[in-house]
Structure formats: structure tokens, C-alpha cells
A and B are shown apart, each in its own frame.
Chain A
Amino acid sequence: MRDLKTVINFTIKDMVKRKSFIISTLIILILIVLGFNIPNIINLFSNGTENVNNIILIVDSQNIFEGTLDSINELDLGYEVKVTTENLSLDDIKNQIEAKEINEAMIIEKPETGNIKIRYIVKNMATVTSVPEDLVNAINQTYSNLQISKLGLTQEQIQSITPNFEFSMEQTEEQEVSGNLFVMMMLSIVLFYAIYFCAYQVSSSITTEKTSKIMETLVTSASPKTIVLGKTIGIGIVGLVQVCVIVAVSLISAKIFLEPGLLESVLDMSKITPTLGVITIIYFILGYFTYALLYALTGSTVSKPEDIQSANTPVAILVVIGFYLSYFTMMNPTSSLNVFASMFPFSSPFCMPFRIMMGIASVTDILISIAILIVTILIIAKVAIKIYSNAILNYGTKMTFKDMVKMYKDKNN
């Protein structure tokens, strides 16, 4: 127990003191603060120099709309609409666009026979993503209103022909799904990266000890079990603190730098409860242990730093599969695949927290998934410690899976 504490302490100190760790953490924090300042930075550069609103000139030379087009500006569609009844030629409009007085124009014409034509004039068709449907609809509506008003109808009559639907959505299944998909995806992604990167450190830490040949001194000073667990716990503590700092800095920057209300509009703050925090941390810890011990296993089979990548590939594939299994079934949380993902130990750490957040996971489900994870961790720990004890003194070529099975079975070693 004392040895375990010593290994944990040494691992934490070793990690925290590393320049690469300090610099990468600082860079992440700076990027977060900068990221939340992007709207402010853009405003700083665009202020006064360029109008963010599109100015659209509507040319109604035949005065078809009888001056009612100005009312479109009240709709706040994101355009600034200028209306003119002058008979401007295409060249006049071109000149105005070139002079940046306007961005686009619409020419409305009513031929002798047939429908009203709207010609949409832009500088370059390639830069226009789509026709501004909302503006066209607004023009349509304005025309209808104008024509209706000419009929001399009563207020009731006008109301009876104006559609005024009330729309609502309900579901047939009893479980109520709530929550914000954006938040759930963020949670899943944060968990994925945190677990993946922290767990990976365990592998590289063990390989460093092997390649620096310190292993032999170490195994005569502490038991392999103590070393593997101490390392895993130490790196986990550093990782957890790092993730907490990053999340805290993100939330604080969002509060300080974003316009009030903007954060709340995408993030339903009422969903972020202390219970969710605790559950997320529990799943982070369990997920981290699952993958960290797998990485300890692969890390101990490597004796040259250049082999570490290939030895770790199977674990990397497993973690990506686990993540996507939960990520892609997130859209359909009641599907059986998502239920499976919340139980399967390699995907449940990414999946269960958002099921809990949506309120569709029962307490039994949560307990079962945690139990499955713990059993998985114990099994992996047993195999990893065994392979580690046997593989650490194996310097030479990279071990194959067959070698590992043999090592696991080899009681003599």
C-alpha cells in the first residue's frame, strides 16, 4: 500500500513536471479562451468597415406594389431592403453593386400577359448559396395582402382566409426523451478524448521505462501489480484534474466572453446538474481504467519506442469503435443498438452519461452497466498485470498475440 502511494506520487510528479505536459495544457487553455472570443474578435475587425447586412435593392419601376414593399424591412429577415420605383437599367444596377452601395438587386416586372417576373441580380452566381426564399415569400405575401385589401373585405373575412395554425409535437412512446443533442455530443466527445489521451499516457509511460532499461531496477523494488496500478491511478488523477480544469475554463470563458443568453440558447444549463457531473466523473474513471489497463498491456509488450504505435493500434481501434457506437446511436436513443452501447463495456463510458442526462436510463440500467464495467476492468487488470510481469524483461522483437497468450499461460516465468 505504501509502495502504491509512492508509485502514484512519483507518476503524478513526473507527469506534471514535464514541459510537454505544461505547454500542451497551456495551449489548450489559451485556445479555449480564444475560441470563446471569436465573436468578439470578428466584431472588432468588422466594426464600421463593412456592413454585415446584405443590402438588396428592389426595383419596382411599374409600381406594382404601390409602395407597400418597404414593410418587408419590419420583418427583420436579415436583409436591408431598399425599394425604388426608378426605371434602372441593368448597367445602373451593376454600377451600384460595383460601388458597394448594394449587394444584390431584384427587378420586378409585370408583362402585358402572364405572371409577375422577379429577376434576381447578383455579382457572381458562384458565390450565392441559394435564392433568398424568405425574401421571395415576403414579397409574395405583400402582394397578396395588397390585392386582398383592394377587395374591401371586412376584418373577419380577412382573418378567416389567413391561415393561423398552432403546431405542436407529441410522441407515442411513454419514455420521455429530453435534452439537447448538442450538449450530449459535446459530453460524449469530451469523454472520448479525455479517456483516450489519458489512457494512452499509461502505455507510453510503461514503454519509456522499458526502453530506458530501468525496468529491472523497478521490478526488484516494487511488485508488478503495484507498478501497473500505481501508474494507472497516478496518470488518471492527473488526467481527471486536467479535464476538470479544461471544462471549468471553458464554462467560465463562455460566461465571461460570450454575449449573455448565447450560451443558454445552445446549452440547456438546467440539464447540467451536480448528479450528472458525478456520474460523468464515475464513467470517466471506469472508462479510463478499462482503456488504460489495455494500454498497459500493449505498452509492456513493446521494447522500442518506434513499435509503440503499432502495438497500440488494436486498442485505438477498440476505443474508436466504442465511441462511434454510442455517437451514431445517440440520434435514436431508444434503439436497441443504443441500449447495447450503454451496456457494452467499451462503449458504455461514452454512451451512458447522455442516456442518464436524457432521463431514459433507469437506476437498474446504470448499476448493471457499472457492474459490467467493473468486472471488465478486473479481468483486464488481471491479464495486464500478468502479461506485464512476464513481458517487461523481454527485450527484442515486438511480441505477437500468440506470444502474449503463451506468456499469460506460462506459469514458470
Chain B
Amino acid sequence: MGLKLQNVSKNFVGKLAVDNISFELEKPGVFGLLGTNGAGKTTTIRMLLGIIKKDKGEITWNGKAVERKNVNFGYLPEERGVYPKVKIFDQLMYFAELKGMKRKDAQGAIEKWAKVLKVEEYLYVPAEKLSKGNQQKIQFMTAIIHDPELIVLDEPFSGLDPVNSEILKNIIIDLVKNGKYIIMSSHQMASIEEFCSDIVILNKGKTVLKGNLKEIKESYRANRVLLSTDVNVEKDIKDLQMEIEFTKNNEYIIKIQDEESAHQLLKNLIQKNIVVNKFEIQKPTLNDIFIEKVGD
């Protein structure tokens, strides 16, 4: 059950935009679709939603082809857009009705979400009078107003301030709790790490990494040590042939080859009676993994 993409490809005038991609969302949750600009994320999403036709492969939702009539989906496109001259309420109602909602239900849903997203005061104002961030919240509302099962969010956090990002995060968490399948594409690795259980990383149309985020991270060896001391210990670090990535006020980020060398460093410092305020051996972040996989 859930969403399944099998060997999906798309060619644009001689250029392979998406090359044989497969992934699956078996249970509710947030799936991360990562990749550099032009990696094929938006093309994958557009094929997924049937906006453009795929050349090859199969995309199914609960075993059926993904089409408007088979799947109740919501979509926040990367290209943000609203009707500039139309009042917010009218455009929300328009899309809700197109998605098959009754006027009365739509009205209730609009009022509810406007409250959650804190845009109640703008409901009867033309969209052009709203700030970009608020317009984005309106578009997010069009994506979820009809209570879809499958939600595709293309860069949902870009352009939002921390307060609004927080509101959006909480909504996404709630949506997952309510059993929604969410596909999220983002450049902000922190937000992906926060939400996503499974990810796929695309590069130039190809899958370069795929799987459960936690398992992926565990498969990587520790590569950094975070150290904070009372005195300057630069010499001790360099004695062990270790590379300092960053230092400030006796705080260090040290690159390590293996955990052994890190333990040796800690031992040395303790022997010298140097006060160690913080010592943390770190696994690579998603950011590191991403750069390693797609950076040339």
C-alpha cells in the first residue's frame, strides 16, 4: 500500500531529466526528496502528480495509477503563485470546490486553517496586498484544505521566517499523526533531518542514495569531535596529526579518521589535567552526506 515509483524515467529533448528512479512510501510519514538544483526533483514530483507524463516506469497509489480521480492529493508547487487581484477567501474556495469539497465544508476548513496559520485577518483581502510569506501560507492552505491523503510539498520552508516555519512544522507533524503521506523536497537539510524517516538523494536525474535516514547515518563512521576546554589545546590536537576544522574561544571542531584517535586525544588532555567542558564524537550530518554524494 502507499505510493510506489518503479523505474521511472523522463526525457526532455535529448536530456535525461529523471533516470530510472524507484522509491516507495509504505506507511504514513514524511519522505525526503533531496538533490541539487536541476537534479530532477520537480520533474519527479510533476510526473508523480500527472502534470507531465512519464516516458517509462510505473507510479501507483494503493496499486492504482496516480490520477486526479484515483488519489486525493494536495500540492504545494515550488513556483509559488496566487491570483493577485482575487480575495484570499475566494481563491481558497475556488480550489477547495475544484477538489470536490462542498461549499459549506470548504468554508469551515478555510476558517479552521486560517486560524491555525494565523492569516484570518487577510481572508477578505486581495492576495497582492499580502507579504510573500503570507502568500506562501495561503498556498500551503490550498494544498491541505481538502484533507488529502497524499501531500507533496516542494520547498515548503523557503522564504518563511522562524516563527512561521515553526507553525508549518507543527502542522506537518500533526498531518503525519493523522496518517498522511507527505513527500517533501527541500534544500534545508536540518528540516529534512527533523521530519523524514526515509530519503532519496538525486543527482543529475539519478538516485545516488536511498533508504532509511537513521540507517544511512548509522552506516557512516564518526568523522568529527566537538571539544571545549579552558585553555588552548591546539598543540595537543596537532600532536596527534588531527585537523582542526574550526576553532573559536577554545572550542574546536576536529576532523577525525576513527574514534580511536578521538579517545587518545581525550586521554591526553585528562592526563595533563586540562578541564574538558565538552567532548562529543559526531556522526556525519545529512548535510555532510549530501555534499559527499552530490558534490563534484
Contacts and interface: CB of A to CB of B under 8 A. Distances in A.
Contacts of B143: 217
B15 interface: no
Interface string B48-59: 011111010000
Contacts of B97: 6
A212 B51 contact: no
A393 B10 CA distance: 15
Interface string A5-36: 01100100110001000000000000000000
B95 A221 contact: yes
Interface in B96-126: 97-100
Interface residues of B, number: 30
B154 to A, nearest CB: 9
A215 B95 CA distance: 12
Contacts of A218: 98
Interface residues of A, number: 26
Contacts of A7: 98
B75 interface: yes
Nearest to A395: B79
Interface string A201-231: 0000000110011111111111100000000
A213 B99 CA distance: 19
B81 interface: yes
B81 A220 contact: no
A3 interface: yes
A9 B53 CA distance: 30
A375 B79 CA distance: 37
B278 interface: no
Contact of B80 (A6, A10, A14, A213): A213
Contacts of A6: 94, 97-98
A220 to B, nearest CB: 5
Contacts of A3: 98
A57 B103 CA distance: 81
A413 B53 contact: yes
A129 interface: no
Interface stretch (B84-92, B191-199, B205-213, B227-235): B84-92
A22 to B, nearest CB: 13
A412 interface: yes
A220 B83 contact: no
Nearest to B154: A216
B203 to A, nearest CB: 23
A219 B73 CA distance: 12
Given A14-B86, A214-B81, A216-B51, A393 B46 contact: yes
A217 B75 contact: yes
Contacts of B85: 14, 18
A216 B82 contact: no
Nearest to B75: A220
B79 A221 contact: no
A61 B106 CA distance: 95
Contact of B81 (A2, A213, A221, A222): A213
Contacts of A213: 77, 79-81
Given A13-B90, A223-B68, A216 B98 contact: no
Contacts of A217: 75, 77, 81, 95, 139, 142-143
A222 B86 CA distance: 19
Given A393-B51, A413-B52, A215 B94 contact: no
Interface of B: 11, 46, 49-53, 55, 68, 73, 75, 77, 79-86, 90, 94-95, 97-100, 139, 142-143
26 contacts: A3-B98, A6-B94, A6-B97, A6-B98, A7-B98, A10-B90, A10-B94, A14-B86, A208-B84, A209-B81, A212-B84, A213-B79, A213-B80, A214-B81, A214-B83, A216-B75, A216-B79, A217-B81, A217-B142, A218-B98, A220-B68, A220-B75, A221-B68, A412-B53, A412-B55, A413-B53
Top-7 shortest CB links A-B: A213-B81, A214-B81, A216-B77, A221-B98, A213-B79, A6-B97, A10-B94
